[in-house]
């Protein structure tokens, strides 16, 4: 026998459903089942079934229903004193089975039972109260189940439901803690920590309370777990440097500069010590290779290094200023109270590191450089000389095997001497010997002596070249050819596909050659799929490159970068027009890119290489690389690189007969100037684009819409006129997508100037077009414009519906900034309608999103406490 009270009341006997006939009969059974095993008085039964104002013959009616129940379910219903009781095993009733499953930790099974409302067909005060009471049980069970899923590692899948639950109960600390854990476990540490701040502020504002001890402990635990850990892997083996390590241990927090010649082991010492001292810096370790002595164009600018550090510290892009001074100040503010270790590797001069240096002494900085830097802050100097002989012998022996080294002590001494006791030279020579275990060390020592002559014991460059030359002689001809070509690459590293294109070889063959070079210690796979080498090795490789192969190799590499960039750019923004591109040379690899995530990953990984390559490519290469970078640099708020790349692209297009490409790139250039706040230059670039698009109405219309976007709030009427002109041009040439954008712009503009009926008219006109395209963000913007119109006309119910749809659409489209604004508008709408509770929930969500996006939220906080205004 089985009974249900979730949804309608029903019973199954021997697998067959039992029919109860009239609804009140089921209601009587439902009341008794909820109280299974307990007596319900006749008066209570009347009130629970018929309400608190029952008809005069209520008792007689209930008696009739009870009699029918006895006939339908014989032997279950009993009279007990002045009341009635149903004798069933509680676990046969879905409500009581739910409670049993929750008590025994089987929450998934319990929740599967409670898919419908308790006693959904009974609408009396008692039934409504029973449903309200059970809602608390159901919520607790859901939270128990969420805890179980969090323990099993299912974080990402929980975030959407927890977001929705938080919107309903913004000050529930248990739900807040679960969302924080889910976000953190999904790799969204910044959002997790920011949500804690939102909850803390909401508790203080609404209740005058601090977060609970449990939530505070969770915050501290996740804060420690979220600290950046950017150090590269520790060098293995690492030998010697005991005195220098002791000096680093004893140096006070501040700035330490390790100086020494190339290949002497500055990076190995800094990274080895940093790993050893990491526990002293619980708020994280930051690392950047500044490539100060790499090939031209490879050095990392202070601005790029700042952006990397700010990103690692979870500072939202929207909060980062455009100028170097502002970025530097933001980094210093972010590090002010943090105990962080910063390693600035391979710096060229003080100007490169000065903007990166923190203000106080909580953050400790270790700099490596070949020159004696003199930063503005007082620094502890640590000159690094050659390895002591014993340490040099131990380093080489650890690479070739101690037994082998001990068997030929004289040869070992000779190799160490001819490697000038330089760790880099010893590593390369050791890798060569390790791949030939049958090769006598004496023969290795002789080979080193027979190669490039040394000027004297202090000429470490000659010594290194000799060791490199020896190792290169041991390479296969194909590996040596690839090594020579790698010296030509722009940027600091290269992908497998890039290396294959550079060499004009298939991927599989290139992968084997890269493995051979890595075994010889001439190359390092810095991150999976990307390869780099010490700048001295790269300089040597470039020296070996043959003149007759340079131009063709670089042309193949630039073909790979430009043409793969075009494919990535089209996938990243599918609505863009494909630019005209040349056929690639034979041997160029263009990997398939099919998803937005793949496109974004490729563009961001190759961004530094593309920026380094742009000044050196053909005009066609240069402008296509700039085209591929334009959208992602804009969306990632890398506005300085956006501007630089588009300036280079425009200069390249001025050498080509491509008016359409020039006009489109001038639009991107205008966008770059606009993002940097240089509005006059932005307007000038866009008017050049307008001229370049002469005879192309769709192109000119696109320029007009971009000019409209530059108009400040006090010139919205001018923006509307530009947009109308654009719309007319789009209509004249039948460009539907352009018309949709223009109509959306008009709906927004009329809403801004208070022409609410027109705003609604244009929004309603464009909505079916966005839906036909299945364009999520376009629909969200239109819902937002509709909300503005309805709000302005005082139709708060429809405005709330529209803003809710806008919030959902912006969330699905991934635009957090617009979602934050929509929640603010939704809160205003609820407040205007007199619903303070819903207004508060929407504003709290808006504050959270503003904080996540790095946007100011004080104007919304004031709405939560009107008395402060």
What DSSP designation does 453 have? Answer: P
Of 659 and 524, more confident: 659
Of 701 and 435, more confident: 701
Instruction: With CA atoms as reference, report the closest residue to 260 among 382, 345, 380.
Output: 382
Query: CA separation (Å) from 418 to 385, 435, 437?
Result: 16, 20, 20
Question: What is the per-residue pLDDT for 463?
Answer: 57
Of 747 and 377, more confident: 747
What's domain 735-868's superfamily in CATH? Answer: Tetratricopeptide repeat domain (1.25.40.10)
Label residue 741 exposed, middle or buried (CB < 10 Å: 0-12, 13-18, 19+).
buried
Sign (positive or negative) of CA dihedral 819, 824, 827, 828: negative
Question: What is the per-residue pLDDT for 456?
Answer: 39
Question: What is the per-residue pLDDT for 295?
Answer: 58
Tell me: pLDDT of 230 over 80: yes
The CA distance from 544 to 541, in Å, is 5
List phi, psi (to 5°) of 819: -60, -40
Pick the CATH number of 2-137 from 1.10.10.10, 3.30.530.20, 1.10.3720.10, 3.40.630.30: 1.10.10.10
% of the chain residues with pLDDT over 90 = 39
The CA distance from 298 to 658, in Å, is 30
Tell me: pLDDT of 390 over 60: yes
The stretch 265-289 carries a mean pLDDT of: 91
Give SS3 for 347. strand
Could you tell me if residue 504 is left (phi over 0), alpha (psi between -120 and 50 degrees) or otherwise beta? Answer: left
Of 83 and 790, more confident: 790
| Cβ atoms 501, 557 nearer than 8 A | yes
Query: CA separation (Å) from 233 to 215, 260, 527?
Result: 34, 22, 11
Q: Where are the alpha helices (DSSP H) in 659-714?
A: 659-675, 679-692, 697-710
Q: Strand 380-383 and strand 10-13: pairing?
A: unpaired
The stretch 699-724 carries a mean pLDDT of: 90
The stretch 224-246 carries a mean pLDDT of: 85
Bridge partners (DSSP) listed for residue 341: 285, 364
Q: What is the pLDDT of residues 551-565, one digit of tens each?
A: 999 999 999 999 999
pLDDT band at 652 (very low <50, low <70, confident <90, very high): very high
Give SS3 for 167. helix
The set of residues, in sequence order, having a beta carbon less than 8 Å from that of 163 and lying 6+ positions away, is 179, 811
pLDDT band at 227 (very low <50, low <70, confident <90, very high): confident
List phi, psi (to 5°) of 238: -120, 130
| Cβ atoms 708, 722 nearer than 8 A | yes
The CA distance from 558 to 547, in Å, is 17
pLDDT band at 519 (very low <50, low <70, confident <90, very high): confident
pLDDT band at 153 (very low <50, low <70, confident <90, very high): confident
Of 472 and 725, more confident: 725
Question: What is the per-residue pLDDT for 354?
Answer: 93
The stretch 670-674 carries a mean pLDDT of: 90
Label residue 456 exposed, middle or buried (CB < 10 Å: 0-12, 13-18, 19+).
exposed
Q: What is the pLDDT of residues 843-866, one digit of tens each?
A: 988 888 887 766 778 888 888 754
Pick the CATH number of 242-383 from 3.40.50.300, 3.20.80.10, 3.30.300.210, 3.30.930.10: 3.40.50.300
% of the chain residues with pLDDT over 70 = 96
Secondary structure of 74-136 in HEC code, one letter for each residue: CCCEEEECCEEEECCCHHHEHHHHHHHHHHCCCHHHHHHHCCCCECCCCCCHHHHHHHHHHHH
The CA distance from 274 to 247, in Å, is 13
The CA distance from 158 to 178, in Å, is 9
Tell me: pLDDT of 363 over 80: yes
pLDDT band at 533 (very low <50, low <70, confident <90, very high): confident
Secondary structure of 141-190 in HEC code, one letter for each residue: HHHHHHHHHHHCCCCHHHHHHHHHHHHHCCCCHHHHHHHHHHHHHCCCHH
Query: CA separation (Å) from 797 to 766, 787, 811, 833, 834?
Result: 22, 10, 21, 8, 11
Q: Which of 234-238, 609-613, 837-841 has the highest mean pLDDT?
A: 609-613
pLDDT band at 504 (very low <50, low <70, confident <90, very high): very high
The CA distance from 441 to 404, in Å, is 8
Tell me: pLDDT of 461 over 60: no
Compute the mean pLDDT over every residue in the chain, rounded to the nearest whole number: 87
The CA distance from 43 to 46, in Å, is 5
List phi, psi (to 5°) of 126: -65, -45
Question: What is the per-residue pLDDT for 868?
Answer: 36
The enclosing H or E element of 799 equals helix 796-813
The CA distance from 363 to 58, in Å, is 79
Fold for 153-225, please state it: 1.25.40
In degrees, rounded to 5, the angle at the alpha carbon of residue 593 between the alpha carbons of residues 590 and 599 is 115
Tell me: pLDDT of 603 over 70: yes
pLDDT band at 518 (very low <50, low <70, confident <90, very high): confident
Question: What is the per-residue pLDDT for 750?
Answer: 94
Structure tokens at 621: 């290469």
- Range with the lowest mean pLDDT among 513-517, 533-537, 573-577? 533-537
Tell me: pLDDT of 224 over 50: yes
Q: In what order do the strands lie in the sheet with 494-495?
A: 494-495, 530-532, 524-527
| Cβ atoms 205, 174 nearer than 8 A | no
Structure tokens at 867: 């008395």
Max intra-chain CA distance, the chain: 119
Instruction: With CA atoms as reference, report the closest residue to 628 among 663, 604, 652.
Output: 604
- Range with the lowest mean pLDDT among 170-174, 202-206, 266-270? 202-206
Q: What is the pLDDT of residues 295-352, one digit of tens each?
A: 555 688 898 899 889 988 878 776 788 788 999 999 999 898 889 999 999 898 888 9
The CA distance from 579 to 664, in Å, is 10
């Amino acid at each position: 026998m089985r009974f249900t009270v979730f949804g309608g009341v029903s019973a199954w006997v021997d697998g067959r459903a039992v029919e109860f006939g009239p609804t009140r009969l089921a209601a009587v059974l439902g009341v008794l089942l909820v109280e299974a095993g307990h007596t319900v008085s006749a008066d209570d039964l009347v009130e629970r079934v018929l309400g608190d104002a029952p008809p005069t013959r209520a008792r007689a009616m209930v008696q009739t229903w009870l009699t029918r129940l006895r006939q339908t379910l014989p032997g279950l219903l009993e009279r007990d004193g002045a009341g009635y009781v149903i004798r069933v095993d509680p676990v046969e009733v879905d409500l009581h089975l739910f409670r049993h499953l929750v008590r025994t930790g089987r929450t998934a099974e319990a929740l599967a039972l409670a898919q419908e409302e308790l006693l959904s067909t009974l609408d009396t005060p008692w039934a409504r109260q029973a449903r309200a009471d059970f809602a608390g049980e159901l919520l607790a069970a859901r939270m128990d189940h969420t805890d179980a899923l969090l323990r099993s590692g299912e974080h990402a899948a929980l975030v959407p439901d927890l977001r929705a639950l938080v919107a309903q109960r913004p000050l529930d600390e248990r739900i807040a803690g679960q969302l924080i854990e889910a976000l953190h476990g999904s790799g969204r540490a910044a959002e997790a920590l920011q949500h804690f701040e939102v909850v803390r502020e909401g508790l203080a504002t609404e209740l005058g309370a601090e977060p609970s001890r449990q939530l505070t402990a969770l915050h501290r635990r996740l804060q420690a777990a979220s600290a950046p850990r950017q150090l590269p892997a520790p060098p293995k083996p690492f030998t010697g440097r005991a005195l220098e390590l002791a000096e680093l241990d004893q140096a006070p927090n501040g700035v330490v500069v390790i100086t020494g010649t190339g290949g002497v082991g500055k990076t190995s010492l800094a990274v080895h010590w940093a790993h050893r001292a990491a526990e002293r810096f619980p708020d994280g370790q930051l690392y950047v290779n500044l490539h100060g002595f790499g090939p031209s164009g490879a050095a990392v600018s202070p601005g790029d290094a700042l952006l990397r550090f700010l990103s690692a510290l979870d500072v939202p892009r929207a909060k980062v200023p455009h100028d170097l001074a502002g970025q530097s100040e933001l980094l210093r503010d972010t590090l002010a109270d943090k105990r962080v270790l910063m390693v600035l590797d391979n710096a060229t001069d003080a100007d490169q590191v000065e903007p990166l240096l923190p203000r106080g002494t909580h953050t400790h900085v270790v700099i490596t450089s070949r020159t004696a830097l003199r930063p503005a802050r007082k620094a502890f100097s640590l000159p690094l000389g050659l390895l002591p002989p014993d340490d040099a012998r131990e380093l080489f022996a650890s690479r070739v095997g101690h037994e082998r080294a001990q068997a030929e002590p004289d040869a070992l001494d000779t190799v160490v001497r001819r490697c000038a006791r330089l760790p880099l030279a010893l590593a390369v020579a050791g890798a060569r010997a390790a791949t030939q275990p049958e090769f006598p060390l004496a023969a290795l020592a002789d080979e080193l002596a027979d190669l490039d002559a040394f000027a004297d014991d202090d000429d470490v460059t000659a010594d290194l070249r000799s060791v490199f030359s020896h190792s290169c002689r041991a390479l296969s001809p194909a590996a040596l050819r690839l090594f020579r070509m790698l010296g030509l690459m722009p940027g600091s590293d290269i992908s497998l596909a890039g290396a294959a294109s550079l060499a004009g070889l298939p991927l599989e063959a290139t992968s084997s050659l890269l493995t051979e070079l890595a075994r010889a210690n001439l190359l390092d796979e810095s991150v999976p799929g990307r390869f780099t080498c010490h700048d001295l090795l790269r300089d040597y490789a470039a020296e070996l490159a043959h003149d007759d192969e340079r131009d063709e190799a670089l042309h193949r590499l630039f073909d790979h970068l430009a043409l793969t960039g075009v494919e990535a750019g089209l996938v990243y923004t599918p609505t863009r027009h494909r630019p005209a591109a040349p056929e690639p040379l034979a041997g160029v690899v263009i990997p398939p890119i099919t998803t937005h995530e793949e496109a974004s990953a490729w563009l961001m990984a190759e961004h530094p290489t593309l920026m380094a390559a742009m000044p050196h490519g053909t005009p066609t290469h240069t402008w296509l690389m700039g085209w591929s970078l334009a959208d992602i640099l804009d969306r990632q708020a890398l506005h300085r690189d956006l501007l630089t790349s588009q300036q280079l692209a425009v200069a390249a297009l001025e050498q080509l007969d491509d008016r359409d490409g020039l006009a489109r790139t001038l639009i991107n250039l205008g966008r770059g100037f606009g993002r940097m706040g240089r509005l006059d230059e932005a307007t000038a670039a866009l008017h050049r684009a307008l001229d370049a698009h002469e005879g192309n109405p769709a192109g000119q219309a696109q320029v007009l819409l971009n000019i409209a976007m530059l108009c400040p709030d006090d010139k919205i009427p001018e923006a509307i006129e530009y947009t109308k002109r654009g719309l007319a041009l789009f209509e004249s040439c039948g460009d539907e997508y352009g018309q949709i954008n223009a109509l959306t712009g008009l709906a927004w503009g009329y809403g801004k100037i208070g022409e609410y009926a027109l705003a609604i008219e244009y929004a309603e006109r464009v909505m079916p077009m966005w839906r036909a395209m299945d364009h999520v963000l376009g629909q969200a913007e239109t819902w937002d414009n509709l909300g503005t119109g309805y709000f302005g006309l005082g139709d708060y119910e429809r405005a709330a519906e529209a803003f809710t749809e806008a919030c959902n659409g912006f969330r699905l489209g991934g635009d957090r900034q617009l979602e934050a604004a929509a929640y603010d508008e939704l809160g205003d709408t609820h407040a205007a309608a007199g619903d303070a509770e819903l207004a508060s929930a929407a504003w709290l969500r808006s504050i959270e999103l503003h904080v996540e996006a790095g946007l100011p939220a004080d104007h919304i906080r004031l709405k939560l406490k009107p008395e402060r205004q």
